[in-house]
Amino acid sequence: MDPYVASSTKPLYRGTQIVWYILGILEALLAFRFILKLLGANTGAGFTHFIYAVTYPFAEPFIAVFRTSRVAGSVFEWTTLLAMIVYWLVALAIIRLLTMSKSVTTPEAAQKLEGQQ
């Protein structure tokens, strides 16, 4: 095994782990937001207020995209679902960008190029 490839692979692996970890936390928080809104959670409760305050900056860019569906105190927040999808796609793009910088041998590159045709 080429030691250069091995030494460059570990930081890339750690970088992708960090991206997945951050995405996992963000997706969990946004999922809590979605469920709390859907179930009509009390906004005066500490946990609910915390989740709404932490997730607002991440949901805010998408708030005007769709209308909010309300039924008897419950809110189906399409914008939170959209935010979750967009952040997932951004994370995938970052990971692709990180892995593109990984060193490859000439035979590996040739094999990958043949697979793309």
Residue 47, number of CB atoms within 10 A of its CB? 11
DSSP 76: E
Query: Domain locations in the chain?
Result: 3-116
Residue 67, number of CB atoms within 10 A of its CB? 8
State residue 58's pLDDT score.
97
Q: Per DSSP, what are the bridge partners of residue 69?
A: 76
Full pLDDT tens readout for the chain, 117 residues: 454 555 667 788 888 999 999 999 999 999 999 999 999 999 999 999 999 999 999 999 999 898 888 888 889 999 999 999 999 999 999 999 988 877 777 787 778 778 777
pTM for the complete prediction?
A: 0.80
| Amino acid identity for residue 48 in this structure | T
DSSP 61: G
